[in-house]
Amino acid sequence: MKVLVVSQYFPPEPFRVGDFVNGLQQRGCEVTVLTGFPNYPKGKIYDGYKQSLCQIEYKEGIRIIRVPIFPDTSYSKWRRILNYLSFPISAFLIGLFVIRSRDYQKIVTWQLSPVTIALPSILLRFFQRSKAPIFHYVQDLWPESLEASGQVKNIKILRLVDIIVKFIYKSSNKILIQSKNMSEKIEKYGIAKNDIIYLPNWSEDIYIPVIKNREIAQIEGLDQSFNVIFAGNLGAAQNLEILIQAARELVSFSNIKIVIYGDGSNRIFLEKIAKDLPNVFFKGRRLPEEMPQLFALAHVTVVSLKRNPIFELTIPSKIQSYLACGRPIIAALEGSGATIIEEANAGLVCRPEDHIALKDAILSLYQMDSTQLEQLGVNGRYYYEQHFAREKVLDRFLELLAE
């Protein structure tokens, strides 16, 4: 089966779409990826890449077509708009010359932010008169998440985005959603329930429980402490200010360390408000293959989101990674993500945007018997295997493509 995958982001950028493509390739699909030059999360083109009109590379049999993009992860509205528009425009115009969409049997759009990622799939199919069905995989709901993050407040712009979203959904054959609770938001655009399919996120096979490596613990400075670890994007939606505020409340507990791995648009701000705290450590972004060993150092992991109805519908993908590695979780959020932690009995849930509740949750696990704490991690791993195991999800994806 020949599959065209359209995604603004692709490895070496840290997104699961790369593992998805590898999974299709391993299952006998011939995959071409249409993507931009890597620049996330710092908004700078990665070392080893230089933007050109078009770059074609092959990795493990996968054809990767990279097109120009305006790199940006700032809070500048105009720079962000240029970023959101540059990929769909260049992907469509260049794609007309280097891709024959009618040669593909299926087209998959991996839709993170922005939703405009989906436009090249639709336009290429239309102008090249392809009959390939489009599978639109929704990772992020627009325009709701755009408004919730505070990036856009102008009602006219939000209405325009809403019109674009409706066009994208209506132009797709199947809408895949990473959380069941997303369905209602998509149905409002007149999409039939049968065309909306729940397909959860998973974690790469590297995410497994591993034994704590004392040498790594010493290198990281986390050998003799109770480690509370957050890993992932440091953006506005993650609301990590409450983790810093909780750390301030915990200063008297000298054995508790708040450790933050990752990068993003809010990192400088977070470092600024935490600069006087001896118990907060920013470790920067690490390679995915390093994370299981780093998670093994965590007594507790943290996932956090702002309080907003739209965030209640989504499942942050770090939850699957934490569960897969068998680590206890504190979820400072509501909705789908919180439900998973409760169903799995994998940790504690507390109110979002409430640093005192987060502090209390950390202390509850800190004071817990080590056997009980480890059992929470075991529970999480079991739940992961039942609901999110990579092979199960990818096999289901292939079944959908083959229908």
In 34-179, where does DSSP find H-type helix?
A: 77-98, 119-127, 144-148, 155-171
Would you tell me how many other CB atoms lie within 10 Å of the CB of residue 289? 10
Q: Would you state the structure tokens that stand for residue 384, as one six-digit string?
A: 């992961």
Residues 380 and 397 in one domain: no
Residues 396 and 370 in one domain: no
User: Looking at residue 372, what is its pLDDT?
Assistant: 96
CB burial of residue 326 (10 Å; 0-12, 13-18, 19+): buried
User: Looking at residue 265, what is its pLDDT?
Assistant: 83
Residues 228 and 180 in one domain: no
Peptide bond into 292 cis (omega under 30): no
Residues 269 and 395 in one domain: no
CA-closest candidate to residue 110, choices 68, 139, 70: 139
pTM of the model: 0.90
Report if residue 80 sits inside a domain. Answer: yes
Residues 234 and 186 in one domain: no
Determine the average pLDDT of the residues in 49-59: 95
The CATH number that applies at residue 350 is 3.40.50.2000
Is-contact 305 316, C-beta < 8 A?
yes
Report if residue 181 sits inside a domain. Answer: yes
Structure confidence by residue, pLDDT tens digits, 148-191: 766 777 788 889 999 999 999 999 999 999 999 999 999 999 99
User: Looking at residue 41, what is its pLDDT?
Assistant: 81
Residues 70 and 113 in one domain: yes
Residues 148 and 10 in one domain: yes
Report if residue 348 sits inside a domain. Answer: yes
Q: How far, in Å, CA of 228 to CA of 283, rounded?
A: 13
Report if residue 208 sits inside a domain. Answer: no
Residues 65 and 168 in one domain: yes
User: Looking at residue 154, what is its pLDDT?
Assistant: 79
Determine the average pLDDT of the residues in 16-22: 95
User: Looking at residue 101, what is its pLDDT?
Assistant: 87
Distant-in-sequence contacts of 271-275, Cβ < 8 A, 24+ apart: 273/241, 273/244, 274/244, 274/247
Residues 239 and 161 in one domain: no
Structure confidence by residue, pLDDT tens digits, 351-397: 999 999 999 999 999 999 999 999 999 999 999 999 999 999 999 99
Mean pLDDT of the chain, nearest integer: 94
Res 75 pLDDT > 80: no
Q: Would you state the structure tokens that stand for residue 48, as one six-digit string?
A: 């080893």
Report if residue 140 sits inside a domain. Answer: yes
Greater pLDDT, 212 or 74 = 212
Q: How far apart are the first and last CA of the chain?
A: 12
Determine the average pLDDT of the residues in 3-12: 96
Report if residue 223 sits inside a domain. Answer: yes
Structure confidence by residue, pLDDT tens digits, 93-138: 999 999 988 899 999 999 998 999 999 999 999 999 999 999 999 9
Is-contact 306 243, C-beta < 8 A?
no
Report if residue 190 sits inside a domain. Answer: yes
Report if residue 21 sits inside a domain. Answer: yes
Is-contact 256 250, C-beta < 8 A?
yes
Residues 261 and 398 in one domain: no
pLDDT band at 341 (very low <50, low <70, confident <90, very high): very high
User: Looking at residue 94, what is its pLDDT?
Assistant: 96
Q: How far, in Å, CA of 239 to CA of 261, rounded?
A: 15
- Running DSSP on this structure, what letter comes out for residue 179? S
User: Looking at residue 235, what is its pLDDT?
Assistant: 87
Residues 6 or more apart in contact with residue 222 via CB below 8 angstroms: 257, 259, 297
% of the chain exceeding 70 in pLDDT = 99
pLDDT band at 147 (very low <50, low <70, confident <90, very high): confident
Residues 300 and 171 in one domain: no
Overall domain count for the chain:
2
Residues 162 and 100 in one domain: yes
Domain, as residue range, for 320: 214-387
User: Looking at residue 249, what is its pLDDT?
Assistant: 97
